[in-house]
Structure 1
């Protein structure tokens, strides 16, 4: 083995230049597809997503990289958690109101010329609103139980995802 090139027999790492190029291209394409999918999925509330999720995560990652004290990082994590909890509550309230409106529409008498897509949209909207209520409630439960976790925390391990997001986006807060 050539010590100048480093270890070449690591599991999962391609051994040829062509294999390495293919792996790099695959990772790049999958990263771009994930970025596009995130953009599409967050399109209705992109600004809300940027302000309440992505920018705070990037700010926390920058604080970790700048080796700020643990109290400041903990305060930033607490503010982010509180922001996410309020976002989940907002989603639950909005989804409940939408569900109530859609359920109210089901009680209306059907018009004579009803297009076939109307009931489909009604059922889809009630399904999506109920799903968002359940999803927000489960996420809220997870965030609240993480706060009360009795075991000691490994901050480096918890922030690994945040650092990965920051590096993959190449964005400064």
Structure 2
């Protein structure tokens, strides 16, 4: 099962998901602003924590450059709330338990895990412009160093 990959210039698939506080968050809410939407395998695991904390630590400069950061995983809202509180994550974490949004973005499918082909979440980041079009579609990113390389790509100091 290979994921359907999106590419720059594609329209970002719309979605409405529940955040860690139980509120509904839609991509439509951000029309007119730039969004960094990132998919990660599981809250409170080492790599996902590193990546989330890197986004947290870069949030000021990303927001100053006009970006809103949204994290998406298959975790329940309750688990996301624990993750956000434990690591002082001040951006929305969204729950996609049925993987519908993961699948729409091609962020779920076959991947190589320690030499074995498995099906799971593909750590991916999408940069969506003010008009809802993808500027960047980055698949199989590394947890460590990804935010720094994304900032460089976006020319955010």
For the superposition of Structure 1 and Structure 2, which TM-score range results when normalised by the shorter chain?
Answer: under 0.3
Instruction: Please tell me whether Structure 1 or Structure 2 has the larger radius of gyration of its CA atoms.
Output: 1
- Normalised to the residue count of structure 1, the TM-score between the two structures is 0.23
Structure with greater helix share of residues: 1
- Normalised to the residue count of structure 2, the TM-score between the two structures is 0.25
Structure with greater strand share of residues: 2
